[in-house]
Amino acid sequence: MSYIPLGLFALLIVAADQISKYFVVERIAYGSTVPFLEGVLHLTYVQNYGAAFSFLQGHRWLFIVVFVVFVALLIWGLHKKVLPFARFELWCLAAILGGGLGNILDRVFRGYVVDMIATDFIRFPVFNVADCFITCGCVLLMGDEEARGATPFYTSLDKVRFKRPVRPGDTVDLVCSITRARGPFRFATGTASVNGEVCCRADMSFALMHER
């Protein structure tokens, strides 16, 4: 899978986040509020020196270091293929990465994060566009609850394409990415590689069965 669309998605999140922050800083006085969706949301201008939702105030450089380490580990894991994320999980990571980068830019150039979205129907910390993508990405990345404790049973194998032979003694690396789900069934695409060279590609499906 090409990572270019994921990178563009992350950059679009950064752009949306920074544009919204620029609008707030230029148009809304610090501490004031502007109605947005009556009874649901209003806009304000808050300077957040902590993490998402004002958590851990005053730890600017800690957040920058944690973000850099996260990105470095993610790139290393994807490059070494030790993190065989499914396509959907990669989009979740791109959302987290884009949101994190949006807030990190604030910390580096402003020293604080601009927050502007406030809820009217519940008492909740003020947040921003980047926080929305970080939170949604994390929630969606928490995992497929239905798959926990289940035993996979293969149900089909399709579009098998051999690239090179596999010889006795070869160590085969298998990488499988789930592309969609329907009930107990999972549909995936996978590759088999030897010494970094792809030997075979195939689409497959399997059913998740729980013991009763």
The catalytic residue positions are 115, 131
Phi-psi region of 146 (alpha: psi -120 to 50; beta: other; left: phi over 0): alpha
Residue 37 main-chain phi, psi, to 5 deg: -120, 105
- Given a contact cutoff of 8 angstroms between Cβ atoms, the answer to whether 101 and 10 are in contact is yes
- Bridge partners of 203, per DSSP, are 158, 189
**Cα–Cα nearest to 134, from 95, 94, 91, 85:** 95
User: Sheet containing 151-162: which strands, arranged edge to edge?
Assistant: 151-162, 197-209, 185-194, 172-182
Number of Cβ within a 10 Å radius of residue 19: 11
- Given a contact cutoff of 8 angstroms between Cβ atoms, the answer to whether 116 and 28 are in contact is yes
**Cα–Cα nearest to 156, from 192, 207, 199, 198:** 207
